[in-house]
Amino acid sequence: MDVITWTGELACHLQAAHRMGREEFAGRLGVHPQTVAGWHARPGTVPRPDMQAALDTLYEKAKPPVRLRFARLAQPPEATAAQALRVAIAVVLRGAEVLLVQRRDGDGLQWQFPAGVVKPGAEPAAVAVKETRAETGVHCTVRQPLGSRLHPATGVQAEYVLCDHLMGEAANLDPAENAEAAFVPITSLTRFIPADRIFRPVLDALGVAA
């Protein structure tokens, strides 16, 4: 177990890592939303012992992606710059369709390609295949890498991998992170993800006009 001395700032980072609104976060902790609002207003506040325990419990029950987001948010700026978070993004083709997942993003939903964190020593291609199967049940194989970029929305180093579908129908196997998984027509891709948010080599590989 990680030993954390909670402050208002760290509690707010935990809220952000869970992608919860203030009322939902307060409900999970069993406190009034005004308590959470106080942490936002006074980040140096040290919660009382019973609240420290409640935050510990919520952190301990969090899934690995939530803990990773929390660790990144809680890092000092110099540490974040020294060790940028890397993710592998799988662009999985099945004929004229491409695989997407609908992420739970804060208080809303957002369509994205399947993705997973690349840990030190891991290969992005292998992570892309593994995370696609874990999130959606779809088995795929790597065709080619499509390049990398510093993602403009998240600030993480994103490695894009073009993959071919082998077997399996799209299913949401990670309901804590996702609301839905589906193969969608490539011709309709920009209805789900705006073209200006898609890495240009991905658009080129799919034959989608920017």
Q: Are residues 89 and 54 in the same domain?
A: no
DSSP helix/strand/coil, 206: helix
Helix (H, G, I), strand (E, B) or coil at 40: helix
**pTM for the whole structure:** 0.62
Identify which of 18, 131, 21 has the alpha carbon closest to the alpha carbon of residue 66.
Answer: 18
Do 94 and 59 lie in a common domain? no
Assign residue 184 the CATH number of its domain.
3.90.79.10
Residue 173 has pLDDT above 70, yes or no: yes
Over residues 59-102, the pLDDT tens digits come to 998 888 888 888 888 876 554 444 568 899 999 999 999 999 99
Give me Rg for the CA atoms of the chain: 19
**Closest among 109, 110, 107 to 24, alpha carbons compared:** 107
SS3 call for 83: coil
How buried is residue 61: exposed, middle or buried, by Cβ count under 10 Å (0-12/13-18/19+)?
Answer: exposed
- Model confidence pLDDT, tens digit, residues 11-58: 999 999 999 988 999 999 999 999 999 999 888 889 989 999 999 999
Number of domains in the chain: 2
The average confidence (pLDDT) of the chain is 89
- Looking at the fold, whether 89 and 142 belong to one and the same domain comes out as yes
pLDDT of residue 65: 84
The DSSP bridge pattern shows strands 157-167 and 108-112 to be unpaired
Among 27-36, 79-88, 157-166, 194-203, the minimum mean pLDDT is found in 79-88
